[in-house]
Amino acid sequence: MRLLSLELRNYRNYAHLELEPGARLNVFLGANGQGKTNLLESVALLALSRSPRARRDADLVGPLFSEARVTAGVEAEGRRTEIRLSIRTEGAHSHRQVEVDGQPRRSVDLPGLFRVTLFWPDDMDLVKAGPEHRRRLLDQMLVQVSPGYARLLGRYARALEQRNSLLKQVAAGGQPASALDVWDLEVARLGCQLAAARRRAVAALRGPSSLHHAAISGGETLELEYVGPPEDMLRALEASRLDDLRRGTTGTGPHRDDVLVRLDGREARGFASQGQQRTAVVSLKLAEADVVAELTGERPVLLLDDVLSELDARRRGALLERLCEPGQVIITSVEAGPLPPALMAGSLVRCIERGTVRSCGPAG
C-alpha cells in the first residue's frame, strides 16, 4: 500500500498542494498551526471515508471558495488507483462526491481501497478516556479489513435502537412485554457476531502490541484484555429486561464493550505515566498496522502525527528504529532535533509553513 501522489485544493489551510511522497519514510516539519495535522487528516479521510477529527464535512472546506477537494494516487494490490473526494458547501449543508478512477462511487465504498494506520495526539484517549475510544480502535481496524463489518455495525446499531424504543413503549404500557422477544433475538444474534469479531481483533493485537511496547520502553509489559458481552447474550438480555425497562436502554451488548490496557499488571489509565501511556498507544497502533498487513497481505501507510513528543530520547530512538521496516511512513514533528541525522538522510524531508510544503532551508 502506498500513497503515490496527493493533491489538495482549498482543503482547510491548504489553498493548493501537490505532493509526491517517497516510498519509505517521509518527514514533515512545521511549527504549531502550519498544517501538519491537516495534511495527515486529508490522507486518512480518503482511507476511512471520514475525518477522524472533523465533526462536519464543512469544517474541511477552506476559505477560498465553497469546495474542498482531495485527490490521491495510491498503489494497492499492485496497481494504481486514483481516489478523489470533493466536498461542496451550500449554506449550512455540505455535499460529497466520491470518484475512484474517474467513476462515481459511494463514500461507504472507500474503506478498504486504500488503508492507513493513523496515530495522532487525540488517540491518547485510547488509554486516558472512556471505552468508546477503544471500541473505535477495533472498529476502525475491522472496517478496513473485513468487508461485511461496517454493515454489521450498522445493523446492530439499528436493532439496538429498535429495542430501546420498544422498551420505552412497553414501560409506558403501549406494547406487551412479549413484543420485545423478537428484538432480543436480533440484538443477541448481531451482538454475538460483533463481539466475536472484536474478540478476534484483540487476540490478534495482543502479541504485536506487547512486542512493540517492550521494545520501545525497554521491557515494560503491555497486556490487552477484551471485555465483551456475556457468552449467552440472549439469556443475558432476558435476565436484564426489568432493569432495561426501568432505564429505557439496553444494558448488555457489544455497545458496552471495553478493552483493558494493562502496563506491568496495572491499568494504564490510572497508573501509567504520560510517556508510558503514549508508548502504549503507539504500540497499539503499530500492532494495528501489523494485523492489517497480516490479514490483507499489504502494509497500510503509517501516519504518525507528532508522535515523538513526550517520549524520552531512548524511547524515541527505539520507536524510530521500528519504523525502519518496509512500508511507507509519513511522520510529522515540530522540530528536526529528535530525528537522528542518519534517518533524515534516508527520508524525504519537507517543511510546512502556512499551508505550503517546501524543501527545508539550511536551518530546518
Ligand X SMILES: Nc1ncnc2c1ncn2[C@@H]1O[C@H](COP(=O)(O)OP(=O)(O)OP(=O)(O)O)[C@@H](O)[C@H]1O
Instruction: Give the residues lining the site for ligand X (CB under 6 A).
Output: 12-13, 30, 32-38, 59, 61-63, 306, 334
For 84, counting Cβ atoms within 10 Å of its Cβ (0-12 exposed, 13-18 middle, 19+ buried), the class is middle
Q: Does 37 bind Mg ion (CB under 5 A)?
A: yes
Kindly state the cell numbers that stand for 22: 517517497
Question: Using CA atoms in the order 59, 353, 357, 140, what is the torsion angle rounded to 10 degrees?
Answer: -40
Nearer to ligand X, 233 or 304 (CB): 304
Pairing of strands 79-90, 103-105: unpaired
List beta partners, residue 168.
none
Residue 208 CB, nearest distance to Mg ion (Å)? 26
Kindly state the cell numbers that stand for 278: 503514549
Residue 350 CB, nearest distance to ligand X (Å)? 13
Residue 33 site contact among Mg ion, ligand X, none (CB < 5 to 8 Å, cut-off depends on kind): ligand X
Residue tagged 479489513 (cell numbers): 145
Residue 33 CB, nearest distance to ligand X (Å)? 4
Cβ distance 190 to 155 under 8 Å? yes
Residue 19: which of 38, 335, 33, 32 has the closest Cα? Answer: 38
Nearer to ligand X, 233 or 311 (CB): 311
Residue 65 phi/psi, 5-degree rounding, is -150, -175
Residue 253 site contact among Mg ion, ligand X, none (CB < 5 to 8 Å, cut-off depends on kind): none
Residue 214 CB, nearest distance to ligand X (Å)? 29
Nearer to Mg ion, 37 or 49 (CB): 37
Residue 44 CB neighbour total at 10 angstroms: 22
Nearer to Mg ion, 36 or 255 (CB): 36
Number of shown-chain residues binding Mg ion (CB under 5 A): 2
* Residues between 295 and 334 that touch Mg ion (CB under 5 A): none
Nearer to Mg ion, 67 or 306 (CB): 306
Nearer to Mg ion, 120 or 149 (CB): 120
**C-alpha 200, offset from chain centre:** 18
Residue 28 CB, nearest distance to ligand X (Å)? 9
What ranges make up the beta strands (E) of 167-295?
222-227, 258-263, 266-267
Residue tagged 519537507 (cell numbers): 350
Residue 334 site contact among Mg ion, ligand X, none (CB < 5 to 8 Å, cut-off depends on kind): ligand X
Residue 207 site contact among ligand X, Mg ion, none (CB < 5 to 8 Å, cut-off depends on kind): none
Residue 185 site contact among Mg ion, ligand X, none (CB < 5 to 8 Å, cut-off depends on kind): none
Q: Which residue is nearest to Mg ion (CB)?
A: 37
Question: Using CA atoms in the order 343, 347, 349, 355, what is the torsion angle rounded to 10 degrees?
Answer: -120
Residue 32 site contact among ligand X, Mg ion, none (CB < 5 to 8 Å, cut-off depends on kind): ligand X
Q: End-to-end alpha-carbon separation of the chain, Å?
A: 29
Nearer to Mg ion, 52 or 73 (CB): 52
Residue 339 CB, nearest distance to Mg ion (Å)? 17
Residue 30 site contact among Mg ion, ligand X, none (CB < 5 to 8 Å, cut-off depends on kind): ligand X
Question: Half-sphere exposure (CA, 13 Å, Cβ side) for 2?
Answer: 17
Nearer to ligand X, 214 or 334 (CB): 334
Residue 214 CB, nearest distance to Mg ion (Å)? 28
What is the C-alpha to C-alpha distance for residues 111 and 90, in angstroms, rounded to an integer? 26
Residue 53 CB, nearest distance to Mg ion (Å)? 10
Q: Give the residues lining the site for Mg ion (CB under 5 A).
A: 36-37
